[in-house]
Amino acid sequence: MPRYFIEVAYKGTNYSGFQVQDNAGSVQEEVEKALGVYFRSAPALTGSSRTDTGVHARQNFFHVDFESIIDPSCIYNINAILPPDIVILNITPVVAEAHCRFDAVSREYRYYVYGEKDPFMADRAYFFPYPLDLGKLNEAAALVLRHTDFTAFSKKRTQVRSFICSIEESRWMMEAGSLIYQVRANRFLRGMVRGLVGTMLQVGREKMSLDRFREILRQKDNRQVDFSVPGHGLFLFRVNYPVSVWQHTTAETDRAGASPQ
C-alpha cells in the first residue's frame, strides 16, 4: 500500500494542538475530516511533531497509507474543504517504511517577540515591551549549544525516558521588526523552547546574569525556569528528513508527484 507524507502549515490560534485530543479541536482532526469528505473515507494519520495550544507551524507533516495513488491535483480541492487557518502544501509519495516522526533528523523552531504594540502581531508573537540586550541574548543562546541534558527545561508530567537533546543551532536575530529566537535540534522536550525563551529574556532584560543562566542549564530543577511565555509566539518552522525518505520505490508512486526540494 503506498505511503504518503502530507505537508501542512497552520495558524494554531483556534486549536488545542496538532494531534487529536479528547474533547478539544486539533489540526489533525480537521485534516482527517477534510480527507474523509474528499476521499469518502477518513484515513488514519500519524503526526510528525506535537505542537501545543495556540502554537503555529510553517511546516509539519503527517504520514498516511492509502490504498490507491493520490493525484497531487486533489490538494486544491482538499484545501477548499479545510478551514482557512490550515493548508496542505504537498502530498508526496515516500518509501513504504518512512515514518514522519521517527525519521526526522532535526526540527527547527522560531519564537517571535515584539516590543511595540501592534494589533497585527497580537496572535503571532509575544508582546514584550521591555528593553532587551541582543548581545546578552546571543551569549545565552551560545551557552545552550554547549549542553545536551535539558532536564531543567522540560515541563513535568512527561513520559520521555531521556532528556538528552543535541542542539545544532541556537541564536537570536532581528527580522522585519521582530526579535526571533531560532533553535534547531534532533529532538525537543515538552515546553523546552518556551522555557529557553522565557529564561533568556530575563538575561536580555538584565534581570538574570549569564552565570545564573549557565547554572540553570547545569541543574535539573525546572522550578528555576520561566515557562510563562505564551504559545502563540512559537512556530514549528521546519522538519528535516534524510534524502532516502523521498526516494520512491516504484514507478507507480513516482507518477503520484514529485518529492519536495
Give the catalytic positions in this structure.
52
CA distance between the termini of the chain: 24
Strands 106-114 and 126-127, by their bridges, are parallel
Count each helix (H run) and each strand (E run) in the chain, helices first: 6, 9
Helix ranges, the chain (H): 27-39, 74-81, 134-145, 192-204, 210-218, 251-254
* d(C-alpha 7, C-alpha 63), whole Å: 9
* d(C-alpha 220, C-alpha 153), whole Å: 8
Residue listed under C-alpha cell 531560532: 182
CB 112 within 8 A of CB 125: yes
CB 183 within 8 A of CB 196: yes
Retrieve residue 105's grid coordinates: 533528523
CB 26 within 8 A of CB 17: yes
CB 29 within 8 A of CB 91: no
Picking from 8, 7, 10, the residue whose alpha carbon sits closest to that of residue 234 is 10
* d(C-alpha 25, C-alpha 17), whole Å: 8
